[in-house]
Amino acid sequence: MNLELKKAIDQISKDKGLDRDMLVDTLEDAVRTSVIRKYGENIDVEVSYNDDTGEIQVHQFKIVVDDVADPDTEIDIEKARELDPSVQLDDEIGFPLKVTDLGRIAAQSAKQVIIQRMRDAEQELIYEEFKDRVGEICSGIIQRRDKGGWIINLGRTEAILPKEEQIPREHYKRGDRVQALIIEVKKEGRGPQIVISRSHRDYTAALFRREVPEVDDGTVQIMGVARDPGSRAKVAVLSRERDVDPVGACVGVRGSRIQNIVQELHGERIDIVVWSPEISTYARNALAPAVISRIVVDEAENLLEVTVPDDQLTSAIGRKGQNVKLAAKLLGWKIDIFTETRYNETNAIGRGLEQVASVAEVSVDSLVSAGFTTLEQLQDATDEELSEKLSLSDSRIGDLRAAINFLSPVVGESLTRPMPMRTRPTKRRPGERRIAWTGGHVPTRMCAICRRRMPKQELVRHVLSPQGGGNFCR
């Protein structure tokens, strides 16, 4: 009995985690390949493994004929009856072959086939194990450095941590234990290649699932992650239960949960943001700790125009634009940030066009389509150009000129001051009330005498009785 072969099969199956039947089939195929290489491809051979004795049995089969044409596949009936008297024509008779007669070269060939088949089976087993673990955290020991990154020993196999998937300013050395996220498992000729990452945004989400039970069981859901690896990250969370505070659950008692995550990421700052279906509310939360004055949503351009107080601009933008960049990634929207002063300056010219259009009784779109986007362009245009492009009469062109001459210095002045200020009322006569205009929208009124609409600042309001009065040119 050849018990050594049987023990070897059992030991390999246990150590490598391979199926025993697969090992037996591999062994039989290897021996069959060696026999064919020695005796030729035309022979009919059968190889079987006897599990009781631990031996490999090889039989060659030939067809019984009267006249032998091919000695490798046929046998004369007289010789066949010497071996088996009951044999008939066209029967198949088997001859045992000794494995020891195969020779050293055939045995070496069988050994190589067995090793290759075992390696392929082991690689397939590893691939099947790790392909379903994409998105999970794995732990390994740094083994060596490759041109593409660090090679990490995961036990049964190796993984690669590429340079682009490493956290900036992190330093590794051989023998260090690291944790990372499995992001890809590729099947290659040399075996499965496992790619891991420490800079991927999903790695932060995986750490939250591991450290926060409410995230793991779905009570608190992570709606999005934006990350600048090694520096700062923003995580949007939402609670599925009214009684559970998503931010408090992620922070933990005295910050114990979030500190474990920060420590694993080597001091990376993490902002926990409350998710909201309302994009303006979500943007306010994402841009914290900056104070937001107003948000204009442009869904067509997927753009948010955010206005902040002048002293909040640095906080809103962040160091090297980090805060607004992470907020834009988290929201999936483009964000433009203006200060209150800049916002007023940007809209002063637009307000001036609106006021001029109101006086001339034309639409702003007509002015823009005619090529007049600023007051300076309207001021430089000739009467013929205004009449041709805007189809205005001479009287309306005169009204337009008066409004332009009045608004041009006012708009220019508003561009040089942060906020319009209300001036002290001028001295008035008894029964007269004058309103001083200081910038912004220009109110217009109609003169009770000449029936022309003029800026309210150029009119005087005479209160003659409690029932009313009139607006008159000064």
Cβ-based neighbour number of residue 340 at 10 Å: 18
**Structure-model confidence comparison of residues 428 and 287, the more confident one:** 287
Instruction: Answer yes or no: are the C-beta atoms of 177 and 239 closer than 8 Å.
Output: no
259 confidence band (pLDDT: 50, 70, 90) = very high
Predicted pLDDT at 118: 74
What sign does the CA torsion over 201, 207, 210, 215 have?
negative
The mean pLDDT value for 147-161 works out to: 89
- For the whole model, what pTM was predicted? 0.61
Is residue 426's pLDDT more than 50? Answer: no
**Structure-model confidence comparison of residues 237 and 436, the more confident one:** 237
Question: DSSP characters for 49-95?
Answer: EETTTTEEEEEEEEEEESS-S-TTTEEEHHHHHHH-TT--TT-EEEE
Residue 273: strand pairing partners: 236
Is residue 300's pLDDT more than 80? Answer: yes
- Per-residue pLDDT of 179-235, as tens digits, reads 999 999 988 777 788 999 999 999 999 999 999 999 999 999 999 999 999 999 999
- CB proximity list for 336: less than 8 A, separation 6 or greater: 303, 304, 305, 306
Predicted pLDDT at 458: 60
**β-strands 92-97, 149-153: how paired?**
unpaired
Predicted pLDDT at 251: 93
85 confidence band (pLDDT: 50, 70, 90) = confident
Predicted pLDDT at 350: 60
The whole-angstrom separation of Cα 94 and Cα 90 is 13
Is residue 94's pLDDT more than 70? Answer: yes
279 confidence band (pLDDT: 50, 70, 90) = very high
Cis peptide before 246 (omega within 30 of 0): no
Average pLDDT, the chain: 78
Question: DSSP characters for 222-270?
Answer: EEEEEEETTTEEEEEEEESSTT--HHHHHH-GGGHHHHHHHHHTTS-EE
Predicted pLDDT at 416: 42
66 confidence band (pLDDT: 50, 70, 90) = confident
The mean pLDDT value for 64-90 works out to: 80
Predicted pLDDT at 415: 41
- Per-residue pLDDT of 121-151, as tens digits, reads 778 888 888 888 899 999 999 999 888 899 9
